[in-house]
């Protein structure tokens, strides 16, 4: 298990080659006390080791990969046999600006690594989304749309997530404040009972190259589904998470 948790950190540390003048290659590694994705804990409120690699070209094209240890698939009862404890996301996109408005469009695949069989009534967790976002100054809005089965939901094509974000840096203090609100909608219509809204407030500060952050997240996720799974307690409850990350 420890080897899997450290896999991402090893990958990130190995990609430190100098980039050409017209592009940038960066990597990062970090630790978080609770990996929360769209308001829902991915580790039943346990810590995670995370890391990523990004390549960005001056044209605006970028590609990257990011990974973390996870436990939610097995903890939700979606695994009939085998195991899956690793998330590895891969993505490609294009970003730019027009009249001071930033834009970003792309494709992401959430890959859940492991040799496992999905339990009856569940799809495998691997999910593909397309997304688009616009930003102006410290505000941004983003929309993500699922292209097929969605995070173990069978026939989940059309599931979507809309989010509003704000990020503002207090220059004198060197502290960045952030706020977020999102709405996760599930398809097909029979799965709409799982839909919910999430909120987050956070703050971070760069301490000699190490970014230390704290964020409080909460949701209105119902208690009748796996958001209240017995493993780890209610997955969508209010939680305060601390993180430390380092860019290389």
In terms of phi and psi (left: phi > 0; alpha: psi -120 to 50; beta: otherwise), the region of 99 is: left
181 sits in which H/E element: strand 175-185
pLDDT of amino acid 217: 98
What token pair was written down for 206? Answer: 């760069």
**Of 224, 215, 222, nearest to 244 (Cα)?**
215
Q: Say which DSSP state 4 is in.
A: H
pLDDT of amino acid 225: 65
pLDDT of amino acid 98: 95
Cα–Cα distance, 159 to 232 (Å, whole number): 25
Neighbours of 20 (CB within 10 A): 9
Neighbours of 221 (CB within 10 A): 23
Q: Say which DSSP state 1 is in.
A: -
Cα–Cα distance, 52 to 76 (Å, whole number): 26
Do residues 68 and 28 make contact, with C-beta atoms less than 8 angstroms apart? Answer: no
pLDDT of amino acid 228: 77
pLDDT of amino acid 159: 98
Tens-digit pLDDT profile for the chain (248 aa)? 433 433 434 333 333 444 444 899 999 999 999 999 999 999 999 999 999 999 999 999 999 999 999 999 999 999 999 999 999 999 999 999 999 999 999 999 999 999 999 999 999 999 999 999 999 999 999 999 999 999 999 999 999 999 999 999 999 999 999 999 999 999 999 888 889 999 999 999 999 999 999 999 999 997 766 687 778 889 999 999 999 999 98
**Of 43, 33, 35, 32, nearest to 1 (Cα)?**
43
Question: Position of tokens 């990609």?
Answer: 15
pLDDT of amino acid 241: 98
pLDDT of amino acid 158: 97
Do residues 53 and 15 make contact, with C-beta atoms less than 8 angstroms apart? Answer: yes
pLDDT of amino acid 12: 39
Q: Is the pTM of this model over 0.95?
A: no
pLDDT of amino acid 233: 84
CATH architecture of 2-247: Beta Barrel (2.40)
Cα–Cα distance, 13 to 2 (Å, whole number): 17
């Amino acid at each position: 298990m420890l080897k899997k948790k450290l896999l991402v950190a090893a990958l990130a540390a190995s990609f430190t080659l100098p980039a050409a003048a017209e592009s940038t290659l960066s990597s990062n590694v970090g630790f978080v006390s609770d990996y929360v994705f769209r308001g829902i804990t991915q580790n039943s409120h346990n810590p995670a080791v995370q890391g990523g690699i990004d390549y960005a070209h001056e044209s605006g094209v970028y590609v990257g990969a990011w990974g973390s240890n996870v436990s939610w698939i097995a903890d939700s009862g979606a695994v009939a046999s085998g195991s899956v404890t690793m998330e590895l996301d891969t993505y490609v996109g294009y970003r730019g600006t027009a009249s001071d408005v930033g834009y970003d469009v792309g494709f992401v695949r959430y890959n859940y690594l492991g040799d496992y069989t999905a339990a009856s009534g569940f799809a495998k967790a691997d999910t593909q989304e397309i997304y688009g976002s616009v930003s102006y100054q410290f505000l941004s809005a983003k929309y993500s749309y699922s292209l097929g089965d969605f995070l173990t939901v069978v026939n989940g094509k059309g599931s979507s997530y809309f989010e509003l974000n704000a990020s503002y840096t207090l220059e004198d203090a060197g502290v960045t404040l952030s706020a977020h609100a999102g709405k996760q909608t599930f398809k097909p219509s029979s799965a709409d009972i799982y839909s919910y809204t999430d909120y987050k407030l956070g703050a971070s500060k760069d301490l000699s190259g190490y970014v230390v952050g704290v964020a409080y997240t909460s949701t209105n996720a119902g208690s009748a589904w796996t958001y209240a799974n017995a493993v780890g307690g209610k997955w969508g409850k209010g939680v305060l998470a601390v993180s430390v990350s380092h860019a290389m």
